[in-house]
Structure 1
Amino acid sequence: MVEYFEVVKVEKTKETLDVTLEERDKGVDGYAPEQLRPNGFHEESTVRDYPIRGRKMTFHVKRRRWVDTETGKSVSKRWDIVAEGTRFSKEFAAFF
């Protein structure tokens, strides 16, 4: 995760730990860097993970968008970090 996302904010309360991650600007596989123009972020996703030291752990993930300058289509990387049908990480969902 740290290779592809940057921690931009951490909020800690007595009961929760919220970490905001933004995707690093590394482009999209299959596209030349000059073929893509940054186009902001997708809507933030929330992923719940294993509790840490008695605190509920939540990741707020912001994925980048780019525009293909040749076609005008929006492109982004595909991530597979959330268990299908849940808002939990795959590892945490498998635990249940």
Structure 2
Amino acid sequence: MKPDQLLRSILPEVLIDNFDIDRFEKSESRFDIWLDEKNEQLSEDKYNKNIICYDFGDYRTIQDYPIRGRATYLHVRKRKWLDWRQFAGKNEQ
């Protein structure tokens, strides 16, 4: 079984499709999984060169169902997207 298949059977599919696993920690009582949004633009913005990814937001923590008797915490952060034209226009004023 490939790692991707294993993750799809454990985590919600929407997370695997839209996020990359950045880090994983296991302790006696819990699993912590850090997920970063993939660097993929929405289809309507894909060919707009003015839309750029410039940073990540803060992590949001979600407590998921326990896995093998350990609490599971998903630490998720989304990318920040910017329409460069709007930003450049504000600086010119």
The TM-score normalised by the length of structure 1 is 0.69
1:64 lines up with 2:79 in the alignment: yes
Q: Distance in 2 between matches of 1:49 and 1:58?
A: 6
RMSD, matched Cα? 1.6
1:8/1:42 CA distance change after superposition, 3 Å: same
Find the partner of 1:27 among 29, 41, 54.
41
Q: Distance in 2 between matches of 1:66 and 1:33?
A: 12
The aligned length equals 73
In structure 2, the gaps of 5 or more residues are: 1-14, 89-93
Q: Which has the larger radius of gyration?
A: 2
SS in 2 for 1:48: strand
What is the deviation of 1:52?
0.5
Deviations 1:37-87 (CA, angstroms, capped at 9, x unpaired): 2211011100011001110000000110011012229xxxxxxxxxxxxxx
- Contact 1:18–1:60 at 8 Å: present in 2 too? yes
In structure 1, the gaps of 5 or more residues are: 74-96
Q: Name the residue aligned to 2:28.
A: 14
Superposed, 1:42-61 pairs within 5 Å as: 42-61=57-76
Identical aligned residues as a percent? 27
Q: Distance in 1 between matches of 2:22 and 2:53?
A: 19
Q: Distance in 1 between matches of 2:17 and 2:50?
A: 23
The TM-score normalised by the length of structure 2 is 0.71
SS in 2 for 1:72: helix
